[in-house]
Amino acid sequence: MCGADQAGLALRVPSHETYQLAANWGHANEVSKPGDEWPLSSSQAAATAIRTGKVVDLPDLADTDAYRNGDPVAVLLVDGEGIRSRLAVPLIRDGEAIGAIALSRREVRPFSPTEIALIENFAKHAVIAIDNTRQFTETNDALARQTATANILSVINKNPGDTQPVFDSIATSSKELCGASF
């Protein structure tokens, strides 16, 4: 609908002053791959959108201070990947940006107000989906902890006075909760 050649989802890393590329779609991305972290202090559109909580619309990336001043990422985006127009829309939860959706075009073709509004609306839905996923994961984790505790209590009940089965159950439950190999 927006005619973007590339899109990325960046999420703020709460424990750091960084953001992480969570997902990428479109043409080859030489700048980063999912899992890479970038400083929020960078001049990149996603970082600025997350820092400020505002839409960052760059009609021509080659006509920015970052590119003119030789910022290595801006130069790689323009010269290496051919990106010209860039848009970053923050993902806002409770008045704070938790990430951004970034879209790129390989031609100088600014995003229209209608396209920006569409992505802003989509960003609101994305925040709900991210929150639902987080809550589902937290619920599953809590259930797994409760199940492990119940299993240990059951072993204690079945083997009063015999500590070895209890220790074995604790070790097994710990391994499963942490996803460890042993």
pTM above 0.85, yes or no: no
CATH of the domain at 41: 3.30.450.40
Contact between 56 and 50 (Cβ < 8 Å): no
Helix or strand run (H / E) with residue 163: helix 163-178
pLDDT score recorded for residue 30: 64
pLDDT score recorded for residue 45: 93
pLDDT score recorded for residue 27: 66
In a domain, 72, yes or no: yes
Work out how many domains the chain is built from and give that number.
Answer: 1
CB-facing half-sphere around the CA of 1: CA atoms within 13 A: 7
From first to last of its 182 residues, the chain has per-residue pLDDT tens of 678 888 899 999 987 799 998 888 876 666 677 878 889 998 899 999 999 999 999 999 999 999 999 998 889 889 988 899 999 999 999 999 999 999 999 999 999 999 999 999 988 988 888 777 777 766 777 777 787 777 777 778 887 777 787 777 778 777 777 777 77
Q: Which domain holds residue 107?
A: 6-111
Question: Coil, helix or strand for 58?
Answer: strand
Cross-strand pairs, 23: 9
* Whole-number Å distance between alpha carbons of 96 and 50: 8
In a domain, 77, yes or no: yes
**What DSSP line would sit under 6-54, residue for residue?**
EEEEEEEETTTTEEEEEEEEES--SS--TT-EEETTSSSHHHHHHHHSS
